[in-house]
């Protein structure tokens, strides 16, 4: 029903910036819980940030607060993750996810809830 395609990953030096994009295709939608997750080898997947597409707030992992910003452009059907002041520990495979229709999209549940659509991932490497 919905396909997610990520782009924008790459290799940067510590302190640099990257902007990840995730464009949705398939069935038209106007409300969803959407987020970014990341996973490095041998580590569990962790939530990075999420938002509700019709809301005005977003939620972030403590480790990225103040450095990352998530946003969504409904017209372009694209989710973004602006990453600034990157650190070596930010290196990971980054995945976008969407839950359509949305449920439990709030500050308490966003990182642990189930998402029914996932992108293929885009690699982010940060050198010190």
- Which of 29-33, 81-85, 106-110 shows the lowest per-residue confidence on average (mean pLDDT)? 29-33
Does position 102 have pLDDT exceeding 90, yes or no? no
Does position 18 have pLDDT exceeding 80, yes or no? yes
Q: How far apart (Å, rounded) are the C-alpha atoms in residues 34 and 49?
A: 9
Does position 122 have pLDDT exceeding 80, yes or no? yes
Radius of gyration of the chain (CA): 14
Does position 121 have pLDDT exceeding 90, yes or no? yes
Instruction: Express each pLDDT in 54-95 by its tens digit.
Output: 999 999 999 999 999 999 998 899 999 999 999 999 999 999
8 Å CB contact between 39 and 93: yes
């Amino acid at each position: 029903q919905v396909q997610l395609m990520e782009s924008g990953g790459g290799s940067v030096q510590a302190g640099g910036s990257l902007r990840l994009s995730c464009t949705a295709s398939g069935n038209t939608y106007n409300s969803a819980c959407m987020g970014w997750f990341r996973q490095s080898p041998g580590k569990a997947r962790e939530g990075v940030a999420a938002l509700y597409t019709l809301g005005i707030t977003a939620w972030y992992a403590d480790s990225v607060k103040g450095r990352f910003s998530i946003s969504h452009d409904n017209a372009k059907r694209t989710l973004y993750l602006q990453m600034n002041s990157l650190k070596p520990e930010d290196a990971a495979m980054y995945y976008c996810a969407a839950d359509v229709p949305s449920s439990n999209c709030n500050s308490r549940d966003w990182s642990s809830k189930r998402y029914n659509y996932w992108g293929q991932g885009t690699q982010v490497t940060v050198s010190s």
